[in-house]
Amino acid sequence: MFITKRHLSRRTVLRGMGSAMALPLLDAMVPAQTLLRKTAAAPRTRLACLEMVHGCAGSTQEGIDKNYWMPTTEGSDFDFTMILKPLEPYREYVTVVTQTDLRAAEAWSAAEEGADHFRSSAVFLTAAHPKQTEGSDVVAGTSIDQIYAQKFGQDTPLPSLQLAIENVDAAGACGFNYACVYSGPISWSSPNTPMPMTIDPRMAFENLFGDGGTPADRASRQRANRSILDGITREVSRLQKELGSRDKTRLDAYLDSVREIERRIEKIEQHNASGAERELPAAPIGVPDSWEEHVKLMFDLQVLAFASEVTRVSSLKLSRDTSNRVFPESGIKAPFHAMSHHGSIASKILDYAKLNVYHVSLLPYFLEKLRSTPDGDGNLLDHSLILWGSPMGDSNVHAHKRLPVLLAGKASGQVKGNLHVKCADQTPYANVLLTMLRKLGVDQSSIGDSTGEVAI
């Protein structure tokens, strides 16, 4: 065959009425006889930051003694403890970092005592101590996802994506003279600018794929209950004639995933509009009552966004501080915040550990979706770096020591995985954030109170 350098652009978009469908990386996007890493289509590492509030049973003295979180061995081939056990099938991609502290989330003055729930989230990705204020003069820091997006996310349709599972009213004051905005967004584009979060899967879906046509076009499509794919059927058929068999299979799988998510959102909206009693009556119509279903939808949306490089950067706030939501699938019937204040009673700490297990058990769903999605010379999990953690340690006393922190993914070969790093006592959690930035190719000298890198 005559080989040419003709190829599809990595930024090929199929447009229809009220839709704009970016495509995943296809073989046809790489010039023939050219190494992928030397082309404009070469994948860049994706970054996902996931916050779970209220700390971890493994950060209590009881949890440390019984290894609820911290593995008993360091280095590779470490043991997966009770809370980490759901992640064992992904050993080669998992890096557990223990014994780090987040001093910036602590009270720095007597007036700040007791306000940990109202500032922790603002510190999770910034490692910056928030200014205590009820006004609009908020000050925290620039978060690592936004630092990465500002450097490597400006050539994608969305520089970053901010998602959440529970709504946090960002207006007014929430307590202890702290503005509510500190309790909500974990992404800050500057020390004074928190990034708004989306909790409605429909809105997130439209942000990713509904940018074609006019707002009226999109509204008309939704009223007619038409799929976002209906408007691009002709373009898809034309494109498939130019693709090889492997690319056709990959494109079909991608479009099927888009349609499956769309159907799930439609089903949720139909149920919520039916007049049936809702567990979350104040939530938007596209938000499911089930926390687990909501989380999975948000994971799926991030996978699609990463596969098509609509964005390379996302954050997901999995709960909110002081949430008293109940998670019946965990087997624990007590409310979340109440459970986190276990009174250092061994039996209650064990129950809280079981709740932690349930929360962590949703992460493999995300990891498997990433691992099973081809991306250039590997898969999305090979080319991603995922942070999962909490800005609290022992929530019973609002401590920010011995945080539960783990990383997943290989960051395009920059992180080896299958590793437990036990840091020296009082190691700043900011060292993890600094290490992540440097592994992502950001030449950052420091962040927060960082003192160096973590050996991952």
pLDDT digits (tens, 9 = 90+) for 299-346: 999 999 999 999 999 999 999 999 999 999 999 999 999 999 999 999
Rounded to an integer, what distance in angstroms lies between the CA atom of residue 150 and that of residue 204? 21
Specify whether 107 is located in the same domain as 142.
yes
Specify whether 329 is located in the same domain as 190.
yes
421 bridge partner residues: 97
Given a cut of 70, whether residue 105 has pLDDT beyond it is yes
Residue 326 lies in a domain: yes
404, 64 contact by CB (below 8 A) = no
- Kindly report, residue by residue over 189-198, the tens digit of the pLDDT: 999 999 999 9
State percent of the chain over pLDDT 90: 81
Residue 4 binned pLDDT confidence (cut-offs 50, 70, 90): very low
Which of 68-72, 150-154, 212-216 has the weakest average pLDDT? Answer: 212-216
The values of phi and psi at residue 351, to 5°, are -60, -40
Given a cut of 80, whether residue 31 has pLDDT beyond it is no
Mean pLDDT of the chain: 92
Distances (CA, A) of 109 to 115, 180, 395: 11, 19, 20
Rounded to an integer, what distance in angstroms lies between the CA atom of residue 45 and that of residue 411? 6
Mean pLDDT computed over 7-19: 82
Strands 405-408 and 384-389: antiparallel
**Diameter of the chain measured on Cα atoms:** 76
Specify whether 104 is located in the same domain as 72.
yes
Mean pLDDT computed over 358-371: 98
Residue 227 binned pLDDT confidence (cut-offs 50, 70, 90): confident
Residue 260 lies in a domain: yes
Residues 6+ apart with CB under 8 A from 253: none
The type of residue at 296 is K
Given a cut of 50, whether residue 1 has pLDDT beyond it is no
Specify whether 255 is located in the same domain as 296.
no
- Cβ count within 10 A of residue 32: 13
State percent of the chain over pLDDT 70: 92
Residue 419 lies in a domain: yes
Specify whether 80 is located in the same domain as 102.
yes
CATH number at residue 337: 3.40.720.10
Residue 104 binned pLDDT confidence (cut-offs 50, 70, 90): very high
Residue 211 lies in a domain: no
Which of 19-28, 33-42, 234-243 has the weakest average pLDDT? Answer: 33-42
Given a cut of 90, whether residue 212 has pLDDT beyond it is no
Identify the domain containing residue 351 by its residue range.
46-199+287-439
pLDDT value, residue 42: 72
Specify whether 322 is located in the same domain as 429.
yes
The number of distinct structural domains making up the chain is 2
Specify whether 75 is located in the same domain as 188.
yes
Q: Which of 3-7, 15-19, 117-121 has the highest mean pLDDT?
A: 117-121
Specify whether 169 is located in the same domain as 231.
no
Specify whether 328 is located in the same domain as 428.
yes
